[in-house]
Amino acid sequence: MIDSESNDTVDYGRLVWSDDLVLGVNSIDEQHREWIALVQAFEHAVTEGRPAEEMRSTLAAAVAYTESHFADEQQVMEEAGYPFLDDHIGQHQLAWDRVHAFASGEVADEEMRRSLAEFLPQWLMLHINTADRQFARWLKGTMTPGTGSGTSPGGPTGPDGRVFGDIPV
């Protein structure tokens, strides 16, 4: 997902699944792939000027999946004993609040089309590439070789245990 016109920087406006997004946590990777497909369907409805009812139905599917995915991802993190779960939940809540405000009809259709078509793909890509990737690296660092689980921390972390210490959570 590289924008060749801007010196190899990630273009968060074009949401596509790629191997660059694979975290190595199968359940989360599968859900991210499905979630991206739903967000793409919404984006296409917006960019193709589809009727408001079609746009709303694709958004409703994406919103329902968002809620389900957040709950599943948070459960995986809780079961693993992820020390930054509260921070991650906070990020999910910020996105959920914004998406829910649009999906609830509190915002005019045109504003919803424009804002969500920009917000959802950008937030999703940024979140996967920072907060979710931080969890995946943390999880891999806690795995005991040969058993697939364990509690001994490891991996490239900073003094506070975070992989990306410079990224606010």
Task: Give the tens place of pLDDT for each residue, 68-115.
Answer: 999 999 999 999 999 999 999 999 999 888 887 777 777 777 777 777
Encoded tokens for 35: 């979630």
3-class DSSP state of 2 = strand
The DSSP bridge pattern shows strands 2-3 and 9-10 to be antiparallel
pLDDT value, residue 115? 75
Asked whether the CA dihedral 43, 108, 100, 131 is positive or negative, the reply is positive
Calculate the CA 79 to chain-centre distance.
19
Q: What is the pLDDT of residues 17-70, one digit of tens each?
A: 888 899 999 999 999 999 899 888 888 888 888 888 888 888 888 888 888 999
Domains of the chain (ranges; CATH) run 13-142 (1.20.120.50)
pLDDT at 124 over 70: yes
Give how far Cα 3 sits from Cα of 13, 16, 35, 79, 90, Å.
10, 12, 22, 37, 30
Question: Which residues make beta-bridge pairs with 10?
Answer: 2
